[in-house]
Amino acid sequence: MKKNPWTTLLVLLVVFGSLFVILVGTSVYHFMGEPGAKVTAKNSILHLELNGIIIDSKKFLKQLVKYRKNDHIKAVVVEVNSPGGVVGPSQEIYEELRKVREEFKKPVVVVSSGLLASGAYYVAVAGDKILVQPGTMVGSIGVIMEFVNLEKLYDWAKVGRYSITTGKYKDSGAEYRPMREDERALFQDMINDVWNQFKDAVADGRNLEMDQVEKYADGRVITGSQAVQLGFADGFGTLEDAYETAADLANLDDYEVFDPPKKRPGIFDLIAVEDEEMSGQFGRQIDGVMKKIFRTELANKPLFLMPGAIE
């Protein structure tokens, strides 16, 4: 019996149409967020993590801003393991944590067992309490800017680079020429200003005299034990201790810890990633190698970053 081609076509349309609806539904489900992400316990402590180099504050702040307004959230615990990062995002997180305390009247406790340095420490001083381990690496109060001079490489490759600018400082820090002394002085003045902002934040957040802050604001890293002795941290404690401290500050007899759900990628995310990997993988690999060799990813930016964090 000969099959009707229209019947076959109709079946294929139904099958592929159903698959399309499922894929779209799955993607929308993930993009819109998973159900059950509400804070259900009346007395909840929000737990957030801040790990790695701080380059972008959006992901962290999205969760903080979303849940700090919730009446069931009574306190916030931030678990940190970071060498710091870019100045702006570090300051942005600091300011939003201050709002949790000052505007929303909810205590903030920062805890770190590994690394709490530079921009991460800037973030930490926004908290009511800082808990560390005796061996936690703390501090690195300072600012750094890294520049790359590829002039000799361009000469070797017989590549000439130049720019047309509207002012003598518009191409300051460019990698194709040496830095002038007046440019060096300009950048030094800039990072000194940011450095003063850092020291002011530490003195205010830790209730320390500026002389005490100045003494240790030369970029040095100290241990958690030293930090507690010098007033740069409040005491030793684990994550569980941080929860208990936050509960005490919020006058909670009982509480539950709330961890924001991690978003899983939808099918369209996966398709986009796969397509990007197929089309641009080689170019990204080359770009990554160049950034690795010449350390350009964070070049020409003022950084609250512990030296050696970029490898």
Residues tagged active-site: 118, 170
Q: Which two tokens stand for residue 98?
A: 């201050």
**What secondary structure, in 3-state letters, does the chain show?**
CCCCHHHHHHHHHHHHHHHHHHHHHHHHHHHHCCCCCCCCCCCEEEEEEEECCECCCHHHHHHHHHHHCCCCEEEEEEEEEECEEEHHHHHHHHHHHHHHHHCCCCCEEEEECCEEECHHHHHHCCCCEEEECCCCEEECCCCECCCCCCHHHHHHCCCCCCCCCCCCCCCCCCCCCCCCHHHHHHHHHHHHHHHHHHHHHHHHHHCCCHHHHHHCCCCCEEEHHHHHHHCCCCEECCHHHHHHHHHHHCCCCCCEEECCCCCCCCHHHHHHHHHHHHHHHHHHHHHHHHHHHHCCCCCCCCEEECCCCCC
The CA-based angle 208-214-215, given to 5 degrees, is: 100
Q: Residue 89, Cβ neighbours under 10 Å: how many? A: 20
For residues 8, 10, 12 and 16, what is the CA-based torsion angle, rounded to 10 degrees? 180
Tokens 């560390």 -> residue: 132
Q: Is 128 in contact with 108 (CB distance < 8 Å)?
A: yes
